[in-house]
């Protein structure tokens, strides 16, 4: 595949990109890194080796913003002490007034919003030439046709649409990523095929709300049809995230049920089990509808693994509302859940109109929910003991006796290191289960591995 031609020349930089937040940011980091390499710059593994550090930021909660401030403070200190360092900021925070104030305060040189990442080479060239900050906050059309080269990894992220047309009252994303824009089918399939040729074993289709793919566009297929087309490339695994219950249609469930290589794993954020809270969040479904979707998924996709996002302590959430979230847990039996304490984000409707609950109330409820989820995750994981799963082993685990990967259903699975010579797909018999991890042994031979050296 042709690499993009750099639009301008600047001195060669040693660049380190630090990525916070979601998988869409990971994909954007890969896009930017590919542009940098095509533009003659070098990607380095540690911040210490870099003369240009780019922070790819997240703004969805307060904590990741604090992290960025801490890092920028450190870079400023080093620059004052004489280090030759250019600093860039991209991602959701860059698009917000809040992030721009932070950028001014800490003397950030390059600021590119989530819609302007293809400006990165021009930005570097401009800063080198003028020694003035370069900002670009446009939502550029070329981003949707831009072809990102395939990664050299076993899992490849592939953004199929950007932005969000929902307006959940707690969420800053519609402001940072703008309205929904779907990419063309051709560019998506082109990237998928390139990944397959490059040895990628698992494609993760990404979007803030993948189920809205192609909505209102007669030239594009539905998301279910797109899923089938990507699966038809023959890539061993296809996963997708994130789904919105409002746009989640039966044909998506059918596609998951019918295609062997579309994983039986569905992430379906519910946010709350209480209709009163869902209304205040401006989620456009109610508990009953959500449970209907879950019932249909379970009926059509045996052994499906379900996960969700939950916000605990949304403004006005009563003990009764929280009880409704707990009871939803008891009905759905999630395999995993991403549980967040509500974070009041400046610029969101809930920040403006509602009072935050006391922190100790939020913390206590989150603690209780995590305890329930642990019980459920443990029970659900134990169902797999003695059974065989197909696992994409990707890297050495923190505990060096093991290597780690993910099952088709997205479980984290650890396998003794000596059983795995090369990274790749392995049949694994599950031996034991904890709430977060399955431990197993490689069953039989090595049918579908690919020659990659094991990370040490």
* Residues linked to residue 448 through DSSP beta bridges, in sequence order: 425
SS3 content of the chain, % helix, strand, coil (to 5): 40, 20, 40
Q: Who's near 186: CB < 8 A, 6+ residues apart?
A: none
Q: Which of the ranges 171-179, 320-328, 417-425, 448-456 carries the binding residues for ligand SF4, by CB under 6 A?
A: 171-179
Using alpha carbons only, give the angle 374, 440, 267 rounded to the nearest 5 degrees: 45
Residue closer to ligand 5AD by CB (options 245, 440) is: 245
Q: How many Å apart are CA 114 and CA 57, to the nearest integer?
A: 10
What binding mask, one character per residue, do residues 111-150 give for ligand SF4 by CB under 6 A, x or -? ----------------------------------------
Residue closer to ligand SF4 by CB (options 92, 203) is: 92
Neighbours of 44 (CB within 10 A): 17
* Most distant pair of Cα atoms in the chain: their distance: 64
Shortest approach of ligand SF4 to residue 104 CB, angstroms? 27
Shortest approach of ligand SF4 to residue 361 CB, angstroms? 22
- 164 binds ligand SF4, rule: CB under 6 A: yes
- 343 binds ligand 5AD, rule: CB under 6 A: yes
- 309 binds ligand 5AD, rule: CB under 6 A: yes
DSSP string, 405-424: EEETT--EEEEEGGG-SSSE
Select from 181, 189, 194 the least CA-distant residue to 1: 194
- 61 binds ligand 5AD, rule: CB under 6 A: yes
Which option in ligand SF4, ligand 5AD, none does residue 159 bind, with CB closer than 5 to 8 A by kind? none
Shortest approach of ligand SF4 to residue 167 CB, angstroms? 6
Which option in ligand SF4, ligand 5AD, none does residue 382 bind, with CB closer than 5 to 8 A by kind? none
Exactly one of 166, 259, 289, 372 binds ligand SF4 (CB under 6 A); which one? 166
Residues 2-31 that bind ligand 5AD (CB under 6 A): none
- 175 binds ligand SF4, rule: CB under 6 A: no
Which option in ligand 5AD, ligand SF4, none does residue 209 bind, with CB closer than 5 to 8 A by kind? ligand SF4
Q: Which of the ranges 1-9, 106-114, 339-347, 409-417 carries the binding residues for ligand 5AD, by CB under 6 A?
A: 339-347
Residue closer to ligand SF4 by CB (options 168, 389) is: 168
Q: How many Å apart are CA 159 and CA 396, to the nearest integer?
A: 27
Q: How many Å apart are CA 76 and CA 123, to the nearest integer?
A: 20
Q: How many Å apart are CA 109 and CA 205, to the nearest integer?
A: 32
- 340 binds ligand 5AD, rule: CB under 6 A: yes
- 208 binds ligand SF4, rule: CB under 6 A: yes
DSSP string, 114-153: TT-GGGHHHHHHHHHHH-S-EEE----GGGGT--PPPPSS
Q: How many Å apart are CA 16 and CA 29, to the nearest integer?
A: 10
Using alpha carbons only, give the angle 369, 375, 380 rounded to the nearest 5 degrees: 120
Q: How many Å apart are CA 25 and CA 413, to the nearest integer?
A: 25
Locate 84 and state its tokens.
Answer: 């030759």
Residue closer to ligand SF4 by CB (options 54, 65) is: 65
Integer-rounded Cα Rg, in Å, for the chain is 22
- 60 binds ligand 5AD, rule: CB under 6 A: yes
- 177 binds ligand 5AD, rule: CB under 6 A: no
Peptide bond into 401 cis (omega under 30): no
- 269 binds ligand 5AD, rule: CB under 6 A: yes
Residues 217-256 that bind ligand SF4 (CB under 6 A): 244
Q: Give contact residues for ligand 5AD (rule: CB under 6 A).
A: 60-61, 170-171, 269, 271, 309, 311, 340, 342-343, 345
């Amino acid at each position: 595949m042709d690499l993009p031609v750099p639009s301008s020349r600047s001195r060669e930089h040693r660049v380190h990109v630090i990525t916070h937040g979601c998988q869409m940011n990971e994909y954007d980091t890969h896009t930017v890194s590919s542009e940098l390499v095509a533009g003659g710059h070098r990607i380095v593994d540690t911040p210490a080796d870099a003369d240009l550090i780019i922070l790819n930021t997240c703004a969805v909660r307060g904590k990741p913003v604090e992290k960025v401030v801490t890092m920028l403070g450190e870079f400023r200190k080093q620059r004052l002490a004489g280090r030759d360092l250019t600093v860039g900021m991209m991602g959701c925070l860059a698009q917000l007034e809040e992030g721009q104030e932070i950028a001014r305060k800490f003397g950030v040189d390059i600021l590119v919003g989530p819609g302007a990442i293809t400006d990165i080479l021009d930005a570097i060239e401009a800063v080198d030439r003028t020694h003035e900050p370069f900002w670009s906050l446009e939502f550029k059309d070329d981003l949707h046709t831009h072809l990102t080269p395939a990664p050299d990894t076993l899992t490849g992220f592939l953004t199929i649409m950007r932005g969000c047309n929902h307006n959940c009252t707690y969420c800053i994303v519609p402001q940072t990523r703008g309205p929904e824009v779907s990419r063309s089918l051709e560019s998506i399939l082109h990237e998928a095929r390139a990944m397959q040729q490059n040895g990628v074993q698992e494609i993760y289709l990404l979007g803030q709300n993948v189920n809205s793919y192609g909505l209102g566009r007669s030239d594009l297929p539905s998301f279910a049809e797109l899923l089938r087309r990507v699966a038809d490339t023959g890539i061993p695994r296809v996963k997708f995230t994130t789904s919105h219950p409002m746009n989640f249609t039966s044909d998506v469930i059918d596609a998951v049920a019918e295609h062997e290589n579309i994983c039986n794993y569905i992430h379906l954020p519910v946010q709350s089990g209480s209709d009163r809270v869902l209304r205040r969040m401006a989620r456009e479904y109610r508990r009953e509808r959500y449970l209907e979707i879950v019932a249909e998924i379970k009926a059509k996709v045996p052994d499906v693994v379900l996960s969700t996002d939950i916000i605990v302590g949304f403004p006005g959430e009563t003990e009764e509302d929280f009880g409704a979230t707990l009871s939803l847990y008891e009905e759905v039996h999630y395999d995993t859940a991403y549980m967040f304490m509500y974070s009041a984000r400046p610029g969101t409707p809930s920040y403006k109109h509602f009072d935050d609950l006391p922190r100790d109330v939020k913390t206590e409820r989150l603690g209780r929910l995590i305890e329930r989820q642990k019980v459920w995750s443990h029970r659900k994981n134990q169902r797999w003991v003695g059974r065989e799963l197909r696992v994409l082993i990707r890297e050495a685990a923190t505990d060096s006796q093991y290597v780690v990967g993910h099952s088709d259903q997205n479980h984290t699975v650890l396998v003794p290191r000596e059983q795995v010579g090369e990274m790749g797909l392995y049949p694994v018999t599950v031996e034991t289960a904890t709430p977060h991890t399955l431990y197993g042994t490689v069953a039989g031979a090595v049918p579908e591995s690919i020659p990659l050296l094991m990370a040490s």
